[in-house]
Amino acid sequence: MSEAGLSKTTGWAALASSHPLLAFLDAALRGSGQVVFMNNPLTGALNFLAMFWGAWVGGTTLAVAFGSVVGTVISTAVAQASGAERGALRKGLHGFNGMLVGAGIATFLGGTALAWAVLVFASGIAAVVTLAVEKVLATWDTPGLTFPFIFTTWVVLLAAYRLPAWPIDGLPAAALAAQTAAGGVGAAGTAAAVADAFGLVEAARAVLTSVSQVFFVDDPLAGAIFLLALAVESRRCAALAAAGAALAVGCAWALGADRAAISHGLWGYSAVLTAPALGCVFVARTSSALGHCAAGTLLTVILQGAFFTLAQTAGIPPLTIPFVLSTWLFLLARRGREAAPGT
């Protein structure tokens, strides 16, 4: 979104505008950057680099890295073919949902020929969903964020349960919300969870891994590269992303959430996006902005827990819906200040 990216890279910007193919490459790279709100091709390039680093070092497969590239390209191309508004296309606003769909589907479907066909189709659908969602939300001057990615990926995963030709691995087994008999929900385990402290190194790892989990990568070093990519465009946003993850990891730990899940970044990845969204991307730097940013990040943690429960009932992961709902609520509330309730 920020225009700073253009100035910082005028040399490349000039080159990019010299040839349609380069312009498309530029849009695709900015699409990768827009996953973390950065309208900057260098941020996007570093994000892709981190995807491949995660594939080689971080235990994710190469399919995930290539899937993120293919998804970005397909969704950007489909949006262009569908006649999407030029400015938005150039800023990469039609690419980031495709990148996440590509990485997500490769994560759960693997790299079979059919999986790639589904990935390509779903990335195109993500472009259609983006146009539809933006059309609806424009009514309240609110962005679609990663909702098109979430909707598209959920649909593909839910359908897989009925389409045996789509063998999917790594989905959370569907289960009903479980209450522990004594002392209400999960009271057992509280003691244990609170007892053993969370080492600073372990906490730092959890924070960086939370950043990488935004891209389905489970590796702290990849997370560091993603943060660096963010800092290339905005140091403030990078700091907020890290701070958001730290706040989320801290809260989840203090409230006795599952330690393994925290360490794998599953309680922090949504907050990685909420904090910069409410702290520097969509709002002016006012005194109240930072307060809203903190409150929105806390709400994101609670929503993360709520959707672990709700999504598992359906046998799917929450993805980044906690970030989307929290950010929508706080942005709409700002717009709502002028509107009189009930009128």
Query: Under rule CB under 8 A, which residues in 81-120 are in contact with its own copies?
Result: 82-85, 87-88, 93-94
Choose, by CB under 8 A, the member of 51, 55, 131, 217 that binds its own copies: 131
* Least Å from the CB of residue 228 to its own copies: 25
CA angle 36, 38, 42 (to 5 degrees): 110
Q: Which residues, 183 to 202, sit near its own copies by CB under 8 A?
A: 183-190, 193-194
Euclidean distance between CA atoms 343 and 341, whole angstroms: 5
* Interaction of residue 323 with its own copies, rule CB under 8 A: no
DSSP letter at 169 equals -
User: How many CB atoms are located within 10 Å of the residue 211 CB?
Assistant: 30
* Least Å from the CB of residue 169 to its own copies: 4
* Cβ-contact 32, 95 below 8 angstroms: yes
* Least Å from the CB of residue 327 to its own copies: 11
**Residue 92 vs 220, nearer CB to its own copies:** 92
Dihedral angle sign, alpha carbons of residues 217, 222, 223, 229? negative
Choose, by CB under 8 A, the member of 4, 18, 57, 167 that binds its own copies: 167
Choose, by CB under 8 A, the member of 15, 56, 132, 286 that binds its own copies: 132
* Least Å from the CB of residue 53 to its own copies: 26
Spatial CA neighbour of 171 closest among 292, 323, 337, 319: 319
62: which 2 tokens? 């190469």
Question: Rounded to the nearest 10 degrees, what angle do helices 62-81 and 113-137 cross at?
Answer: 50
* Least Å from the CB of residue 284 to its own copies: 14
* Interaction of residue 286 with its own copies, rule CB under 8 A: no
Choose, by CB under 8 A, the member of 121, 198, 289, 290 that binds its own copies: 121
* Least Å from the CB of residue 152 to its own copies: 9
Calculate the CA 37 to chain-centre distance: 10
